[in-house]
Amino acid sequence: MIAVYGLREALRRKVFVVVLLLTLGFLGLYWLANHYVFRDVQNIAPPAGIDPRPFAGAFLFGLAMFATLFLGVVLAIFLTLGVVRGDAERGLLQPLVVRPVGRSTLLVARWLGAVAVCAPYVGGVYAAAMVITGLTGHWWPDRIVVPGLELAAGVAIVAALSLLGSVFLTATANGIAVFMIFGAGLVAGLLGSIGHALNSHTLEHASKVAAWAIPFEALYQDGLRQITADTTGITGFLLQLGPFGGAYTGGPLLRFWALAYLGLIGLVAVAGFARKDL
């Protein structure tokens, strides 16, 4: 019931409309980019060893994956940034909390409500971008389903982080904090790319630690790797540099860690909420 309440709130809020409009704009521009890139890609002579069509397709689609992650994160943050403290300050939370529904149930249900909006959204944008690239450039990712699921999972983690922040921070402070964490993930990914290009294991290791500390980034990197999982040679090497962060295989351990991470965040959020005076 609370999840439906959260879902209705999410769909009614203007942020959802704004994100939808931004998404339509993005997909339109993305189609244009694909159109021109693949029109010209046949006429360019790339350096030896680089296969231009997979390179262009994977790079463009990687870019779309980042944009999808970013838009999903924006949506997740704006739907959850004020769930506890923000709603309590506005007097929206108290009538619900005094009902015989546990605070933990309330929190989990609000997270599920946000995920019920964000995950289909991310899946939809991911699929639309893939279809645009596939139909325009006749290039399809090596793995289709897993990268989309990993992007959605990454956004679900950001939603959980934002919910956790909402227990302790005001809505504005929480929004800023979670966007900064997202930015930190982006920087970690870029540092990893630099480390990969320079063959600096230290930098790559630091990037990996940072990405795993905020596993939505590691999931994004894994998804990026999955779309060119079977691409080898110089093309494969260059694609691992990835747009906005490198492409690294996380493997099953990453997915297990992401689940455990969600559980940990949930526990801390529930414990914090249970002790909070409203």
**Position 29 contacts other proteins (CB under 8 A):** no
Alpha-helical regions (H) of 81-102? 85-90, 94-97
CA gyration radius, the chain: 20
At closest approach, how far in Å is the CB of 87 from other proteins? 9
Q: Which among 174, 180, 160 is positioned nearest to 262, based on CA atoms?
A: 160
> Which range of residues in 90-98, 123-131, 215-223, 265-273 is near other proteins by CB under 8 A?
90-98
Smallest gap from residue 8 Cβ to other proteins (A): 7
Which positions ≥6 away from 276 have C-beta within 8 Å?
84, 88, 167
Q: What mask, x for binding other proteins by CB under 8 A, covers residues 101 to 140?
A: xx--------------------------------------
Q: Does 1 bind other proteins (CB under 8 A)?
A: yes
How many Å separate Cα 85 from the centre of its chain? 24
Rule CB under 8 A: choose which of 100, 199, 202, 252 binds other proteins: 100
Q: Which stretch binds other proteins (CB under 8 A): 87-95, 144-152, 185-193, 198-206?
A: 87-95
DSSP letter assigned to residue 114: H
CB of 80: closest distance to other proteins in angstroms?
Answer: 16
User: Which CB sits closer to other proteins, 253 or 275?
Assistant: 275
- Per DSSP, the residues of 241-259 read H-TTS-----HHHHHHHHH
Between 108 and 210, whose beta carbon lies closer to other proteins? Answer: 108
Beta strands in the chain (DSSP E): none
Q: Whole-angstrom Cα distance, residue 183 to residue 41?
A: 32
Q: Which residues bind other proteins (CB under 8 A)?
A: 1-2, 5, 8-9, 12, 90-92, 94-102, 275, 277-278
